[in-house]
């Protein structure tokens, strides 16, 4: 399961959680129905946004839902899932973009894809997904050639990019592809007037997807010697963050011009959760129920000069200082020998009882076939939905199980969209 919009389900009301799951399961079942069981491995969080946008514009319609049978990922429960043109368009887009991801890994020679036989098999799978996505797209009046063209142009743009190349030049093909997919939801929903603002929202969403992927993979790409847009252009983290913040603002403005029948879930995903995705990628915050905060200023690493944003606020609104933040370096209250981070080691050099901490090298991403095998195992053992935490099949990054229960909303900065929300004026 991949994608940048990964809402923690404890932040969603029961109704929104059921609606989000309906679109996720609808995408998965549309892939199976049109393209076979193996195609379900390309189910992703971002693809379902296409289905969400279609339904949000069309409103409740007869035949838009159906009852799906028991599934291991739902704890062997039945569920009402999305069906129809929105889910099928999401499936078409997901196949083509997954194909692009495979070809990108082949070009970068990641993992097992360094071996010619494996790379040849991966190209064959990618070509099959391209054709399958094109068939479904054509049935819906959507020409996937714009997606394939964007993918083909991406490699040439990356080859020409160098120090000083604007990041927006590199993200342009992704922006074009997502803009086309978002705009076509207006056609399917019978609201052609929404096409222009949705294309604008899709363009900014594509920019975010590309940049956040680059930020999250920067360390792993450096370890493997793989191409990364930030490293290739010499762009700083602060520059990437400014572009992401501008894109978030652009999406909000574009959505205001879209006529929806019910915009609640769209607003939650593309305003609130997308903001959290950016914060998560840049390490500025994390979900409260996990019991820790990845804000770089909480552990003394980073700072405004390095990252380009304001320092974390203290408990009363002012910036944290050494007296307020025991992890910022400098004098700290004595905690007795052998305390957490204290003892004889103390400060940044000590762990439990003063033992030195050694950095763990990042795990290398798995190759295509190994990742597929792990993904199948995750699906069959229900770890994706029930585990507290699982390792991504390809990226090997940690993710939380997306169907498990959580009772910690009291400690979370969630809102009921949006009477009590302080992050938007809607």
Long-range contacts of 414-422 (CB under 8 A, 24+ apart): 414/10, 414/11, 415/272, 416/13, 417/16, 417/264, 417/267, 417/268, 417/272, 418/267, 421/272
C-beta of residue 305 within 8 angstroms of C-beta of residue 296: no
**Ordered structural domains, the chain, with CATH:** 13-290 (1.10.600.10), 368-411 (no CATH)
In SS3 terms, 51-115 reads as HHHHHHHHCCCCCCEEEEEEEHHHCCEEEEEECCHHHHHHHHHHHHHHHHHHHHHHHHCCHHHHC
CA proximity to 210, closest of 173, 183, 239: 173
Q: What percent of the chain has pLDDT over 90?
A: 37
Q: Which residue has the tokens 């049109």?
A: 34
Q: In Å, how far from its chain's centre is CA 354?
A: 37
401-to-121, 206, 392 alpha-carbon distances in Å: 31, 25, 11
Give the span between the Cα atoms of 22 and 2, in whole angstroms: 17
Q: In b/e form, how buried is each residue of 274-291, taking b as 16+ CB within 10 angstroms?
A: bbbbbbbbbbbbbbbbee
Q: What is the pLDDT of residue 261?
A: 94
Q: What is the pLDDT of residue 71?
A: 83
Q: Quick one: angle between helices 85-108 and 116-139, nearest 10?
A: 160
**Where does the pLDDT of residue 318 fall: very low under 50, low under 70, confident under 90, or very high at 90 and above?**
very low
Q: What percent of the chain has pLDDT over 70?
A: 72
For the cut 80, the answer to whether the pLDDT of residue 194 exceeds it is: yes
Tens-place pLDDT, residues 91-145: 999 998 888 878 877 877 777 777 888 888 888 888 888 888 889 999 999 998 8
How much is the pTM? 0.69
Q: What is the pLDDT of residue 334?
A: 45
Which of 29-33, 198-202, 343-347 has the highest mean predicted lDDT (pLDDT)? Answer: 198-202
Residues 6+ apart with CB under 8 A from 352: 338, 340, 343
Long-range contacts of 261-265 (CB under 8 A, 24+ apart): 261/56, 261/57, 261/58, 261/59, 261/60, 262/56, 262/59, 263/56, 264/16, 264/417, 265/16, 265/19, 265/20, 265/52, 265/56
For the cut 50, the answer to whether the pLDDT of residue 63 exceeds it is: yes
Structure tokens at 400: 């939380």
For the cut 70, the answer to whether the pLDDT of residue 324 exceeds it is: no
Tens-place pLDDT, residues 158-191: 889 999 999 999 999 999 999 999 999 999 999 9
Structure tokens at 20: 């989000």
C-beta of residue 137 within 8 angstroms of C-beta of residue 130: no
Residue 324 DSSP class: T
CA proximity to 251, closest of 273, 282, 281, 279: 273
C-beta of residue 133 within 8 angstroms of C-beta of residue 150: no
CA proximity to 118, closest of 166, 35, 110, 294: 110
Half-sphere exposure of 308 (CA within 13 A, CB side): 12
77-to-47, 68, 73 alpha-carbon distances in Å: 23, 9, 9
Q: What is the pLDDT of residue 398?
A: 76
The mean per-residue pLDDT over the stretch 69-93 comes to 86
Give the span between the Cα atoms of 399 and 384, in whole angstroms: 9
C-beta of residue 330 within 8 angstroms of C-beta of residue 300: no
CB-CB neighbours of 76 under 10 Å: 10
For the cut 70, the answer to whether the pLDDT of residue 305 exceeds it is: no
Structure tokens at 163: 């120090």
When the pLDDT of each residue in the chain is averaged and rounded to a whole number, the result is: 77
């Amino acid at each position: 399961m991949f994608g940048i919009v990964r809402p923690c389900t404890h932040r969603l009301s029961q109704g929104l959680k059921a609606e989000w799951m309906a679109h996720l399961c609808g995408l998965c079942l549309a892939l199976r129905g049109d393209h076979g069981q193996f195609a379900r491995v390309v189910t992703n969080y971002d693809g379902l946004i296409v289905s969400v946008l279609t339904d949000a514009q069309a409103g409740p319609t007869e035949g838009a839902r159906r009852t799906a049978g028991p599934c291991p990922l739902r704890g062997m429960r039945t569920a009402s899932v999305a069906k129809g043109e929105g889910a099928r368009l999401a499936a078409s887009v997901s196949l083509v973009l997954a194909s692009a991801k495979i070809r990108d890994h082949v070009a970068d020679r990641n993992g097992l894809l360094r071996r010619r036989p494996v790379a040849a098999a991966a190209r064959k799978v990618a070509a099959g997904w391209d054709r399958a996505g094109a068939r479904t797209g054509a049935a819906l009046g959507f020409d996937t050639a714009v997606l394939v063209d964007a993918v083909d142009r991406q490699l040439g743009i990356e080859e020409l990019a160098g120090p000083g190349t604007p990041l927006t030049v590199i993200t342009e093909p992704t922006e074009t592809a997502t803009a086309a997919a978002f705009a076509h939801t207006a056609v399917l929903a019978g609201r052609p007037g929404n096409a222009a603002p949705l294309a604008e929202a899709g363009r900014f969403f594509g920019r975010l997807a590309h940049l956040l992927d680059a930020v999250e993979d920067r360390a792993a790409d450096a370890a493997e010697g793989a191409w990364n847009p930030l490293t290739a252009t010499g762009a700083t983290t602060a520059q990437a963050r400014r572009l992401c913040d501008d894109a978030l603002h652009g999406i909000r403005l574009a959505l205001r011009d879209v006529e929806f029948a019910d915009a609640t879930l769209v607003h939650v995903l593309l305003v609130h959760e997308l903001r959290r995705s950016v914060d998560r990628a840049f390490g500025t915050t994390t979900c409260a129920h996990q019991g820790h905060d990845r804000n770089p200023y909480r552990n003394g690493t980073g700072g405004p000069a390095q990252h380009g944003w304001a320092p974390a606020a203290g408990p009363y609104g002012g910036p944290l200082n050494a007296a307020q933040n025991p992890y910022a370096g400098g004098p700290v209250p004595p905690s007795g020998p052998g305390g957490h981070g204290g003892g004889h080691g103390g400060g940044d050099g000590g762990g439990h009882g003063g033992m030195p901490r050694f950095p763990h090298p990042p795990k290398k991403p798995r190759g295509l076939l190994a990742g597929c095998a792990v993904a199948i195992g995750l699906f069959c053992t229900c770890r994706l939905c029930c585990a507290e935490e699982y390792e991504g099949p390809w990226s090997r990054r940690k993710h939380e199980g997306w169907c498990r229960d959580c009772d910690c909303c009291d400690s979370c900065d969630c809102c009921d969209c949006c009477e009590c929300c302080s992050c938007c004026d809607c």
